[in-house]
């Protein structure tokens, strides 16, 4: 890693702010810090930018939280691999004078798709697999209109759904809760964005991918011969926390250990009983930890075990699914009548 002074060092090649008035401000040299955040529980990237303003660009630009941001940077040891990102500035977080002719600007920015999502709504019926519906919504110029790389895992089953005037990402989140994979019928999907693109993947798919590296928690090693081990610095986690949720009372009340669901169809006048057992169903899907949180030992003097008790019962009606089907049929009929009338 020749040329690298410390882990996390980057070289900012260009930072441009495109104002709503049409001006383009080159603030590469005025930039003090940039932070970019991504997470599998967030539908878009976000970040913050700190600028040292000596030309009163906040007024002359002006910068009002309605601008677009272009960033280009590289790693000093990998100059040929340039990363170019495009964001929408959504907020002027701080504007504070630090001297007579200098002020500090802190701006917040997000992926442009996040702002676009809040400005449009989807009112349409769909007949397709969930992965194809998600892809069409993200690419459709009327909705998200994104040209970023998509990583969408194939889903099983043709669905007939109606989107009742929802924001695109809200509708995709609803579909995410109903999607199952083609490969192993896994129901645990995530919808998020990272630097690679927009992702719609199952937890099983994420866990089956190769790891990008190993990290450890510990103190900085003492320097030997005054040399810096950049590789060790990259592999050191900045923060580490273990969240423990082993509350057997809450898990019992929530149906985590065992439950019984009655699925009732008003339209077909039929019902189906579905039973869930934590220990029996534990091996159905891949997990990060092969060991269950609890064991199946006896829990009382009657030789009962956690796995034989139906801790929670639910009743699930298919009324909403039938409403979607009826609305879908009515919309298709309406479109057919309009087409015949025009002909």
Structure tokens at 57: 């660009």
How many C-beta atoms surround the C-beta of residue 12 within 10 A?
14
Mark out the alpha helices in 144-264 (DSSP H runs).
168-178, 203-208, 230-234, 248-253
Q: Which pLDDT value is given to residue 277?
A: 82
Q: How far apart are CA 41 and CA 62, in angstroms?
A: 33
CA distances in angstroms from 295 to 106, 280, 313, listed in the order given: 51, 12, 22
Task: Please provide residue 260's backbone torsions phi and psi, each rounded to the nearest 5 degrees.
Answer: -135, 125
Q: How far apart are CA 109 and CA 44, in angstroms?
A: 11
Q: Is-cis flag, bond preceding 118, omega within 30?
A: no
Structure tokens at 29: 């040299």
Q: Which pLDDT value is given to residue 312?
A: 60
Q: Which pLDDT value is given to residue 158?
A: 93
Q: How far apart are CA 202 and CA 153, in angstroms?
A: 7
Q: How far apart are CA 155 and CA 138, in angstroms?
A: 16
- Residue by residue, pLDDT tens for the chain (343 residues) are 556 777 778 889 999 999 988 899 999 999 999 999 999 999 999 999 999 999 888 888 899 999 999 999 888 877 677 889 999 999 999 999 888 889 999 999 999 999 999 999 999 999 999 999 999 999 999 999 999 999 999 999 999 999 989 999 999 999 999 999 998 888 889 999 999 999 999 988 988 888 888 888 876 665 555 566 777 777 888 787 777 767 877 877 777 778 888 887 777 788 888 888 888 888 777 777 788 888 777 666 666 666 555 556 666 565 555 555 555 555 565 555 555 555 5
Residue 333's beta-bridge partner residues? Answer: none
Q: Which pLDDT value is given to residue 332?
A: 60
């Amino acid at each position: 890693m020749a040329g690298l002074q410390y882990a996390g060092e980057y070289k900012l090649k260009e930072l441009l702010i495109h104002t709503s008035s049409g001006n383009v401000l080159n603030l590469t040299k005025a930039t003090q810090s940039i932070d970019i955040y991504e997470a599998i529980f967030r539908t878009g990237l976000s970040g913050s930018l700190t600028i040292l303003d000596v030309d009163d660009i906040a007024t002359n630009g002006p910068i009002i939280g309605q601008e677009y941001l272009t960033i280009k940077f590289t790693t000093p040891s990998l100059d040929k691999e340039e990363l170019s990102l495009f964001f929408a500035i959504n907020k002027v977080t701080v504007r504070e004078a630090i001297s007579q002719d200098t002020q500090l600007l802190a701006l917040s920015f997000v992926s442009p798709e996040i702002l676009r999502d809040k400005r449009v709504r989807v009112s349409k019926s769909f007949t397709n697999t969930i992965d194809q519906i998600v892809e069409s919504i993200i690419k459709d110029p009327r909705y998200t209109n994104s040209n970023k790389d998509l990583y969408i895992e194939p889903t099983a089953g043709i669905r007939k759904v109606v989107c009742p005037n929802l924001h695109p990402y809200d509708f995709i989140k609803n579909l995410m809760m109903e999607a199952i994979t083609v490969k192993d019928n896994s129901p645990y999907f995530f919808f998020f964005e990272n630097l690679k693109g927009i992702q719609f993947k199952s937890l099983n798919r994420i866990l089956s991918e190769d790891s990008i590296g190993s990290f450890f928690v510990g103190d900085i090693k003492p320097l030997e011969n005054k040399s810096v081990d950049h590789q060790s610095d990259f592999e050191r986690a900045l923060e580490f926390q273990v969240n423990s949720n082993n509350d057997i009372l809450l898990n019992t009340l929530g149906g985590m250990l065992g439950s019984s669901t009655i699925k009732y169809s008003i339209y077909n006048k039929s019902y189906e009983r579905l039973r869930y057992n934590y220990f029996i169903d534990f091996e159905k899907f891949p997990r990060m930890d092969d060991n269950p949180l609890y064991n199946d030992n006896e829990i009382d003097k009657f030789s009962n075990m956690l796995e034989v008790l139906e801790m929670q019962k639910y009743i699930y009606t298919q009324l909403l699914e039938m409403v979607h089907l009826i609305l879908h049929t009515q919309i298709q009929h309406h479109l057919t009548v309009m087409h015949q009338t025009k002909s």
